[in-house]
């Protein structure tokens, strides 16, 4: 094995390792903040990251892997039905990556609609899966789901726009 192959392999593992640590940090941060402060229960950082990587990578397979790993980690920490967020984030990552070829996702208006609709879709899908798989006592928890979806979609859209704007400024500053 040549020296170039060895350094390329280490560089690839370093990138994958840093990426995995960042994904874990997003989910743990979401869990800690939503446990400590109730208002952060309306934010969904893994959803925003799934949409972000779907938009920036434009690769549906990579977005599926990122969305499923974020969703399953979120399920394992949140106590929700295992797999509900995993499926939801997987589908959202896929749809965000395929939207890159159809829409100009670098425009703020497109990002607003996408983040808002993906947040509503995530809430609907997770709620339906939770109702299908939970016991009959779960109906009381989902009684005010529409207002929760709208509030969560609004917060996710605002936070997503801030994070997208920060990314745009940071990437423009580097070029």
pLDDT digits (tens, 9 = 90+) for 13-22: 777 777 788 8
* pLDDT score recorded for residue 93: 94
Question: Residue 140: is its pLDDT beyond 60?
Answer: no
Q: What angle do CA 118, 119, 124 make, to 5 degrees?
A: 95
pLDDT digits (tens, 9 = 90+) for 144-172: 778 889 999 999 999 999 989 888 888 77
Give the domain ranges of the chain: 3-174
Classify residue 73 by burial, with Cβ atoms within 10 Å: 0-12, 13-18, 19+. Answer: buried
* pLDDT score recorded for residue 99: 93
In angstroms, the CA 14 to CA 169 distance is 25
Exposure string for 38-61, b = 16+ CB within 10 A, e = fewer: eebbbbbbbbbbbbbbbbbbbebe
pTM tops 0.85, yes or no: no
* pLDDT score recorded for residue 156: 94
Token couple for 122: 């995530």
What is the 3-state secondary structure of 11-31?
HHHHHHHHHHHHHHHHHHHHH
Percent of the chain with pLDDT over 90: 39
Averaged pLDDT, 53-60? 90
Averaged pLDDT, 81-107? 91
Average pLDDT taken over every residue of the chain: 84
Question: Residue 137: is its pLDDT beyond 60?
Answer: no
Helix (H) or strand (E) holding 118, with range, is helix 108-133
In angstroms, the CA 22 to CA 84 distance is 22
């Amino acid at each position: 094995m040549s020296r170039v192959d060895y350094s390329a392999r280490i560089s690839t593992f370093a990138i994958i390792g840093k990426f995995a640590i960042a994904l874990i940090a997003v989910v743990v941060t979401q869990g800690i903040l939503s446990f400590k402060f109730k208002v952060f229960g309306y934010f969904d950082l893994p959803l925003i990251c799934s949409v972000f990587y779907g938009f920036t990578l434009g690769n549906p397979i990579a977005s599926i892997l990122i969305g499923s790993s974020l969703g399953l980690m979120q399920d394992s920490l949140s106590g929700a039905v295992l797999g509900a967020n995993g499926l939801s984030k997987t589908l959202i990552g896929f749809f965000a990556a395929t939207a890159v070829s159809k829409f100009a996702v670098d425009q703020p208006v497109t990002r607003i609609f996408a983040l808002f609709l993906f947040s509503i879709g995530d809430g609907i899908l997770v709620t339906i899966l939770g109702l299908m798989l939970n016991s009959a006592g779960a109906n009381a928890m989902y009684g005010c789901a529409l207002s929760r979806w709208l509030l969560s979609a609004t917060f996710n859209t605002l936070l997503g726009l801030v994070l997208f704007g920060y990314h745009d400024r940071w990437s423009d500053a580097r070029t």
